Amino acid sequence: MNQPTQSAHTWQSIRAEVLRRIRSREWPPGSMIPNEADLAIELGCARATVNRALRDLAEAGVLDRRRRAGTRVAATPVRRAVLQIPVIRDEVAALGQPYGYRLLSREMAAPPPTVAATLSLPTGEAALHVRALHLSGAHPFVIEDRWITPAAAPGILDADLSQVSANEWLVRNAPFTAGTLSFGAVCADDQLAALLDCASGTPLLRLDRTTADGARIVTAAALTYHAGYRLRTTI
Amino acid sequence: MNQPTQSAHTWQSIRAEVLRRIRSREWPPGSMIPNEADLAIELGCARATVNRALRDLAEAGVLDRRRRAGTRVAATPVRRAVLQIPVIRDEVAALGQPYGYRLLSREMAAPPPTVAATLSLPTGEAALHVRALHLSGAHPFVIEDRWITPAAAPGILDADLSQVSANEWLVRNAPFTAGTLSFGAVCADDQLAALLDCASGTPLLRLDRTTADGARIVTAAALTYHAGYRLRTTI
DNA sequence: GAGAAAAATATGTATAGACATATATACCAT
DNA sequence: ATGGTATATATGTCTATACATATTTTTCTC
């Protein structure tokens, strides 16, 4: 008397049906929807399948779920956009351009106070400072200006950063558990303009990134992209 | 002889153990890991539990999984950062500031060619053009410059956009299924500078957003943020 | 009525078992 | 060798069942 084990009701189809009801205003924003057990009966599938579908929609921000309180349609759906943060080499390759890399400078130095604070370094303590230019074909793509806590990235001081960018070396060799990302706009100063082959004063997108392994900040990097660069994603 | 139904092995604990092995280089980047069935036996839980843990790690970009081929540790983990795109009112409120809104202009007009192309509008056909300023306390926060296809947003022509921003009206009243987002940097021209209370030439972060319901583009908006604004997220 | 304790309930999750599906690999015919 | 076909296998998913957990609601006590 059991249903066939694999029914026509996949969790994706359940999710599609729920989405349809939300979009048709059958279940308007802010309203409660039936509980999992009832939905399972109505739609003719197991509760686990409904759970999978609703959990997915909750992750996407379409539903709000709370134990005992039930599930409601999000009143103002907070849309989540997923940014893919690839290794720069891969990002350039995805554009169909040959990737190039040039190490500009590499030195141990005491970072400026703001960077020292970000890295939680005692004042005056030195860190590894690396600047590099990534190229897309013959054109400058992005400038990487990075500070690294050597103690948090064992081996970095022996790495040949003229061959492999710090970006890639760290991704491959320094495990990390968390990080922050922030975007802003800056004006090209003379140095940036020369490196990125644009006019001084050109507005540029800048991405600041920190990477941590547990509580310890491994690296802080500023990526300044070439003029006209846009970061794209879909919702 | 069954294990107790709720064992100490939750899918989160399985995920933590897998992550530990990856980070300790027991399973180095690029290497295969045991299949689900074997892992389930080794870790003393059901395969479904292992599946849940590994699926989660695959979604996070830590693992690559393919049917029949098995599961391997991602060689260069593509990090995914999740951007929360809240309604502007909520974003300002989250900063602890009172939210303000001022409609700058509202008119039906034929959009410039680039916008017409984005909206898939026939040349010369009019669309609703709305410009508004969102305030954080007394300070300008972001300028919204938006074109709307009225046919795709029934009711928008009757909405009182001097009270509710087009942003909010659309979120609440126009169902949408997909969209694109792109970030770039622009320089403040005289008009932007005046509205955003900054010097002409200041670099500003600009977000371009399109929203679609199925194949039909509902709206295209450009959000130009105040000087110094940073978009933040965590990895 | 106020506050604490108990019951009810919706979601969250684990399990065993079965089948579905993609695809790597082995095998076979040419 | 080459190309097509069969087979094996790892992941993907559904089901039924049971228990866990967070809250809300109700009931009891003072």
DSSP letters spanning chain B: -PPPSS-S--HHHHHHHHHHHHHTTSS-TT-EE--HHHHHHHHTS-HHHHHHHHHHHHHTTSEEEETTTEEEE-SS--EEEEEEE--HHHHHHHTT--EEEEEEEEEEEPPPHHHHHHHTPPTT--EEEEEEEEEETTEEEEEEEEEE-GGGSTTGGGS-TTTS-HHHHHHHHS---EEEEEEEEEE--HHHHHHHTS-TT-EEEEEEEEEEETTEEEEEEEEEEPTT--EEEE-
Question: Is residue A7 over pLDDT 70?
Answer: no
Q: What is the pLDDT of residue B134?
A: 96
Residues of B in contact with A84 (CB under 8 A): 78-80
Residues A162-188, mean pLDDT to the nearest whole number: 89
Q: What is the pLDDT of residue A86?
A: 78
Q: What is the pLDDT of residue B111?
A: 94
Q: What is the pLDDT of residue A3?
A: 39
Q: What is the mean pLDDT of chain B?
A: 91
Q: What is the pLDDT of residue A191?
A: 95
Residues B38-59, mean pLDDT to the nearest whole number: 96
Distance from CA of A76 to the nearest CA of B (A): 7
B172 vs A: CB within 8 A: yes
Nucleotide nearest to A32 (CA to C1'): C10
- Tens-place pLDDT, residues B132-155: 999 999 999 999 999 999 998 989
B229 vs A: CB within 8 A: yes
Residues B68-92, mean pLDDT to the nearest whole number: 85
A201/B185 Cβ within 8 A:
no
Residues B163-180, mean pLDDT to the nearest whole number: 86
| Cβ-nearest to A178 among B80, B186, B235 | B235
- For tokens 């039936």, the residue is A34
Other Cβ atoms within 10 Å of A230 Cβ, number: 13
CA proximity to A88, closest of A96, A99, A76 = A99
Task: Residue window 57-76, chain B: list those with CB within 8 Å of chain A.
Answer: 75-76
B172/A29 Cβ within 8 A:
yes
CA angle A91, A83, A102 (to 5 degrees): 30
Which residues from the 186-225 window of protein chain B have CB within 7 angstroms of nucleic acid chain D? Answer: none
Residues B202-224, mean pLDDT to the nearest whole number: 92
Question: Is residue A2 over pLDDT 70?
Answer: no
Nucleotide nearest to B43 (CA to C1'): C14
A180/B201 Cβ within 8 A:
no
Question: Is residue A171 over pLDDT 70?
Answer: yes
Question: Is residue A209 over pLDDT 60?
Answer: yes
Residues B73-99, mean pLDDT to the nearest whole number: 85
SS3 content of chain A, % helix, strand, coil (to 5): 30, 35, 35
Q: What is the pLDDT of residue B200?
A: 93
**Banded model confidence at residue B69, pLDDT cuts 50, 70, 90:** very high
Q: What is the pLDDT of residue A85?
A: 79
Least confident of A17-31, A83-97, A188-202: A83-97
Residues A188-206, mean pLDDT to the nearest whole number: 96
Whole-angstrom distance, CA of residue A134 vs CA of residue A188: 17
Residues of B in contact with A81 (CB under 8 A): 82-83, 85, 181
**Domains of chain B listed by start with CATH number:** 11-73 (1.10.10.10), 88-225 (3.40.1410.10)
Q: What is the mean pLDDT of chain A?
A: 91
Question: Is residue A1 over pLDDT 70?
Answer: no
Residues of B in contact with A186 (CB under 8 A): 185, 203
- Tens-place pLDDT, residues B49-62: 999 999 999 998 89
B80/A80 Cβ within 8 A:
no
A5 beta carbon to strand C: under 7 Å: yes
Question: Is residue A110 over pLDDT 90?
Answer: yes
Residues B72-99, mean pLDDT to the nearest whole number: 85
Judge whether B137 and B100 are in contact, CB under 8 Å: yes
Q: What is the pLDDT of residue B4?
A: 40
Q: What is the pLDDT of residue B55?
A: 97
Question: Is residue B2 over pLDDT 50?
Answer: no
Residues A42-67, mean pLDDT to the nearest whole number: 95
Which CA-bearing residue is nearest the C1' of C16?
Answer: B46
B139 vs A: CB within 8 A: no
Q: What is the pLDDT of residue A4?
A: 41
Q: What is the pLDDT of residue B8?
A: 67
